[in-house]
Amino acid sequence: MAAVLAAGKLPPELLARLLQGLPQSADVLIGPRYGEDAAVIAGRGEECWVVTTDPITFAADQLGWYAVQVNANDVAAMGAAPEFFTATLLFPDAVTTPEQVEGCFDQIRRACADLGVSWIGGHTEITPAVTQPVACGQMIGRVARSRLVTSGGARDGDDIVLIGRLGIEGTAVLARENRAQLTTRFPEEFLDRAANFLFDPGIGVTRAARVACQAAELRALHDPTEGGLASAVREVGAASGLGAQLFDQPLPVAEPTRVLCAFFGLDVVGLISSGSLLAVCDPAQTPRLLDALAGAGFAAARIGQMRPAGEGFRIGERPLPAFDRDELARVPGSRPPG
């Protein structure tokens, strides 16, 4: 009997095999590859188009808002400004109300307005093919070729800088999807704060990416989504042909995240972390990067260095844990929205 795939991202080795040999135009500067979340297409002169797509399959109460933010993050993590958005919205038959559809449209409208993005089209359908709402978004942005940043440009000895705090998205999902269980142990004010991490500090990284790209010459940029920091570091390493060593020190984690991870027995390095960014740069660039981010109000810390591939991935002297699926999947009723 053939093996059955688990919920979540495809195994990296399967995905890499599937992406081999896809037809490509000469205008495709960066095509589909493991570790890169967006494609890059040559435009006029030095201009490049950055294109990405991501689905949201779980966060029904903020479906449209999520769809805009996560797709904008992928474009911003290439150094580009998100500009144009399309969405395919699928709602289940026999249970969807007009108010639900209107709410999703309003979320997309507000998120696009906040980011200065034009919502240029898409498709909306009521269908028995889904049992819960699904949003498949596509974001398009532009960047000069000289300012393009990928996940695969890191070099041995480069610094790894974490912008933001780990587990922001995971914290919001844990608080929102497990409220009934958590109210017996935690004050309502604490749970309200954790649930609001979706908006404050928020899972969007467009503005932080802009500050980082303007402040320093970045070698790589990547947003830690499903699988958290551990998976993101491995993806940058795979894209760059390197390993990495994280320092044996406390990682930047907000108190609600720390508390909820301890309650559910989760490792924060494997928890979905939209709302943070990994930036990789020459150590000479690190001070100006950290200063610029601090001046713009973004938390940031140097957390490790890229190393030769033969050294693998480590935290201090310990192997960096590998997560086949996000830590959220270990909590009944919780899973990554995408």
Q: Residue 299: exposed, middle, or buried by beta-carbon count in 10 A (0-12, 13-18, 19+)?
A: middle
pLDDT of residue 142: 96
What span, in angstroms and rounded, lies between the C-alpha atoms of 106 and 113? 10
Q: What is the pLDDT of residue 6?
A: 81
Q: In sequence order, which residues have a C-beta less than 8 Å from that of residue 20 and are 6 or more positions away?
A: none
Of 137, 274, 271, nearest in space to 205 by CA: 274
pLDDT at 333: 65
Report, as an integer, the average pLDDT of 301-313.
Answer: 98
What average pLDDT does the segment 178-190 reach?
95
Nearest to 307 by CA among 150, 158, 153, 162: 158
3-state SS of the chain: helix, strand, coil percent to 5?
35, 25, 35
Q: Is residue 119 part of a domain?
A: yes
Do 219 and 90 sit in the same domain of this protein? no
pLDDT tens-digit series, residues 258-298: 999 999 999 999 999 999 999 999 999 999 999 999 999 99
Check whether residue 200 and residue 275 sit in a common domain.
Answer: yes
In a domain, 72, yes or no: yes
Question: d(Cα 230, Cα 232) in Å, to the nearest integer?
Answer: 6
Same domain as 178, residue 92: no
Q: Are residues 203 and 281 in the same domain?
A: yes
Alpha-carbon Rg for the chain, nearest whole angstrom, is: 19
CATH number for the domain that contains residue 311: 3.90.650.10
> 287 lies in a domain?
yes
User: Residues 41, 177: one domain?
Assistant: no
pLDDT score of 334 more than 80: no
CA distances to 64, 78, 105, 123, 183 from 111, rounded to whole Å, are 8, 20, 10, 18, 30
- Please check whether residues 167 and 301 belong to one and the same domain: yes
Closest CA to 217 of 307, 305, 148, 300: 148
Which candidate, 219, 264, 244, places its Cα nearest to that of 307?
A: 244
pTM for the whole structure = 0.91
Let me know: does 107 contact 62? Beta carbons within 8 Å.
Answer: yes
Note whether 190 and 304 are same-domain residues.
yes
One DSSP character per residue, 51-115 reads EEEEEE-S-GGGHHHHHHHHHHHHHHTTTPEEEEEEEEEEEETTT--HHHHHHHHHHHHHHHHHH
Q: Which of 114, 147, 180 is the last residue of a domain?
A: 147
Same domain as 46, residue 95: yes
Co-location of 178 and 326 in the same domain: yes
* Same domain (yes/no): 70, 101: yes
CATH code of 56's domain: 3.30.1330.10
Return the C-alpha torsion angle 171, 197, 189, 184, nearest 10: -20
- Which of these three, 147, 169, 188, is where a domain ends? 147
Report yes or no on 122 lying in a domain.
yes
Domain membership of residue 178 as a residue range: 159-330
Does 68 have pLDDT greater than 80? yes
Asked if residue 303 is part of any domain, the answer here is: yes
pLDDT at 37 over 70: yes
Residue 336: predicted pLDDT: 62
pLDDT score for 192: 97
182 shares a domain with 310: yes
Which residues face 160 on adjacent strands? 280, 304
Q: What is the pLDDT of residue 327?
A: 94
Say if residue 173 is in the same domain as residue 77. Answer: no
Q: How many domains does the chain have?
A: 2
Contacts for 277 with CB less than 8 Å, ≥ 6 apart: 77, 162, 163, 164, 205, 208, 209, 212, 221, 222, 223, 224
The pLDDT, as a whole number, for residue 11 is 85
| Helix axes 286-295 and 206-215, enclosed angle (nearest 10) | 140
Tens digit of pLDDT for each residue in 255-269? 999 999 999 999 999
User: By percentage, how much of the chain surpasses pLDDT 70?
Assistant: 97
Q: Does the pLDDT of residue 94 top 90, yes or no?
A: yes
> pLDDT tens digit string along 125-181?
999 999 999 999 999 999 999 999 999 999 999 999 999 999 999 999 999 989 999
Inside any domain, residue 226:
yes
- SS3 state at 173: helix
Q: Is residue 227 part of a domain?
A: yes
Task: Tell me, yes or no, whether 196 lies in a domain.
Answer: yes
Listed residues 147, 177, 193: the one ending a domain: 147
pLDDT by residue (tens digit) across 107-121?
A: 999 999 999 999 999
